[in-house]
Amino acid sequence: MECAWYLCVCSLLCVWPAAAGHPCSIDSKGWADCSGKSLLHTPDSLPGNITSLDLSFNSLAMPRSGTFLIHFPSLRALNLSNNIIPMLYPAVFSNLWALHLLDLNSCNISHLHPEAFQGLRNLHTLLLKNNKLQILQLPAFLAFGALVHLDLRNNDLLSVDALVLQRMERTHQILLQGNPWVCNCSMYPFQQWLHQRRGEGRTEGRATMGKEEGLKRKCPGRVQGRITGVIDVETLFGPFYSVSSD
């Protein structure tokens, strides 16, 4: 009898996601795992009070207007990694005011609308690694009020506007390595920002630019030259950073 009861309970648990009308699994802490389910849209039958949602490795279609997850205002963690999302449209996350972590790694993103992150005032961690971003526009980063960690590794960034970084005074860590930085006069404000942060005691370590012997100094007081490799900016705002060529 005891064995039969155990089998009955197990069978009910196994079919629960199907009976609930979605292929996801949900634990007692409010974490919904919908990873790798070939989803085009978020299942409508998911409970609206979930706090964490994993939608990685799907085929999600992001809306061109309006919010993406309008029925989940309690989300604190959202994983959208490994979906094909070439562009983030305006206000797509605007109702997720409680969100602390947003994972957009490996989404093929090449463009961020200036209002893409509108409403994310409480976001602590933004992961944008392994995308195709070439430009960081200042308006896109004005939405953040509490950002602590920003990961931009392995994109197509050639330079970075120092104003973007200066706007994120509370951001403790910005990861930028693996981008094909171009060493010319346009990098001068960025280099000055690095030295300023180090002078304030906000960073420790060293900064070196390039293995090419003797960078040409055509811009007085500025860095000018051609780098044979890439400038590799490691952990800014962290215990160590470097700008070097591999």
For the CA atoms of 212, 213, 218, 222, the dihedral, rounded to the nearest 10 degrees, stands at 70
- With contact defined as beta carbons under 8 Å apart, do 233 and 242 qualify? yes
The more confidently predicted of residues 59 and 237 is 59
Q: Which of 92-96, 135-139, 156-160, 182-186 has the highest mean pLDDT?
A: 92-96
The closest of 134, 69, 129 to 99, measured between CA atoms, is 69
Task: Dump pLDDT digits (tens) for 62-105.
Answer: 988 888 898 999 999 999 999 999 999 999 999 999 999 999 99
Res 244 pLDDT > 50: no
pLDDT band for position 237 (cuts 50, 70, 90):
very low
Q: Beta 149-151 vs 111-112: how paired, if at all?
A: unpaired
pLDDT band for position 196 (cuts 50, 70, 90):
confident
Res 16 pLDDT > 80: no
Mean pLDDT of the chain: 75
For residue 239, the model assigns a pLDDT of 31
**What pTM was computed for the model?**
0.75
Res 246 pLDDT > 50: no
For residue 141, the model assigns a pLDDT of 86
pLDDT band for position 39 (cuts 50, 70, 90):
very high
List the end-to-end C-alpha distance of the chain, in Å, as a whole number.
68
The mean per-residue pLDDT over the stretch 219-241 comes to: 33
For residue 201, the model assigns a pLDDT of 52
* Domains of the chain, CATH where assigned: 16-156 (3.80.10.10), 183-246 (no CATH)
The mean per-residue pLDDT over the stretch 141-166 comes to: 87
pLDDT band for position 182 (cuts 50, 70, 90):
confident
